Amino acid sequence: MPGSVIAVHASPSHSFGKQEAEVITVLEGQGVAGDAHCGATVKHRSRVKADPSQANLRQVHLIHAELFEDLASAGHTVGPGQLGENITTQGIDLLGLPVGARLSIGTAVIAVTGLRNPCQQINDFQPGLLKEVVRTDSEGKLVRLAGIMGTVARGGTVSPGDMIHVELPTLPHFPLTRV
């Protein structure tokens, strides 16, 4: 069964959260129209400082709403858009997707590039939240839970209620790593 979109967001500034919208337009090879992170080259301030010419593998940020329930059980109240995602989903295992999976959402296609690597700003939003979205598993490996990133393979529009259909890449599949 396909997943679905429960909310969409964009922000013209580099603020932490993003404003909810009725629809977002995603531009092929760029990202979400009107969003501060839209562009072919990297727009995240720390990455621009390191190398402004690097490709933007973080054009679209998706978070699964099920994460909010997990965070609530740890005492955090978080809702759609508050962690800076462009698309809030439900019913799809975003973190289990391989690199290169393609998500058909609305009239757009998003190519999955990797995991979001949240920074200290998340603790500025709610103290202690970073340790809830970046954990260490029983083998000592970091587990990132704050969603996935992708690039726009086909431009279009995305709205709440749109179904999400997954097309897996050819084998072998590679697990997501931080981008």
pLDDT digits (tens, 9 = 90+) for 66-104: 999 999 999 999 999 999 999 999 999 999 999 999 999
d(CA 138, CA 4): 31
Can you give the pTM of this predicted structure? 0.96
pLDDT digits (tens, 9 = 90+) for 11-59: 999 888 999 999 999 999 999 999 999 999 999 888 888 888 999 999 9
Q: Cα 5–10–15 angle (5° rounding)?
A: 130
157 domain residue, yes or no: yes
Q: Which residue range is the domain that position 117 belongs to?
A: 3-167
174 domain residue, yes or no: no
176 domain residue, yes or no: no
- pLDDT for residue 1: 64
Paired tokens of 106: 């609305």
173 domain residue, yes or no: no
Model confidence at 108, pLDDT cuts 50, 70, 90, reads: very high
- pLDDT for residue 61: 97
pLDDT digits (tens, 9 = 90+) for 125-169: 999 999 999 999 999 999 999 999 999 999 999 999 999 999 999
Paired tokens of 28: 């092929």
175 domain residue, yes or no: no
113: Cα within 13 Å, side-chain hemisphere: 21
> Domain total for the chain?
1
d(CA 44, CA 118): 12
146 domain residue, yes or no: yes
Encoded amino acid at 153, one letter: A
Task: Output the domain CATH number for residue 157.
Answer: 2.40.33.20
11 domain residue, yes or no: yes
Encoded amino acid at 21, one letter: A
179 domain residue, yes or no: no
